[in-house]
Amino acid sequence: MGIELIGMLKRHEGVRSHAYKCSENMITVGVGRNIDENGGLGLSEEEIEYLLANDIRRVREELEDTYFWFAALNEARKDAMIDICFNLGLVFVFDGHHCAAISATPSCRECHESAAWVS
């Protein structure tokens, strides 16, 4: 598979980072990948695992960059935080109700003293 072929396919199919309906009205993503459940290829198990690993890394980085105390959590709490943020988004986790239960670190005292963390 040469660089010329890749370039040609990208030019002919286009490159889309979000799902769209192609000219055949099928849900498509990337470079012409038909993922429609009615006749599309979908994603392989390997592709699903690759996307999941990237999403977990992204969420972990968002937590590390946003909350100074995240790095001090044990792995079980980090995993719980990643799971919550993965499913509900970063904003939900810190709506004022979850800091004490999840962080349980002395450095989180500022959270409890801040109006933003009051129920």
Confidence class for position 89, pLDDT limits 50, 70, 90: confident
C-alpha 59/C-alpha 61 separation (Å) is 5
pLDDT of residue 94: 57
pLDDT of residue 35: 96
pTM (2 decimals)? 0.72
Which residues lie closer than 8 Å to 108 by C-beta, 6 or more apart? 69, 99, 100
Could you report the per-residue pLDDT of 36-79, keeping only the tens digit for each?
Answer: 999 999 999 999 999 999 999 999 999 999 888 899 999 999 99
17: part of which helix (H) or strand (E)? strand 16-21
pLDDT of residue 116: 41
pLDDT: which is higher, 103 or 15: 15
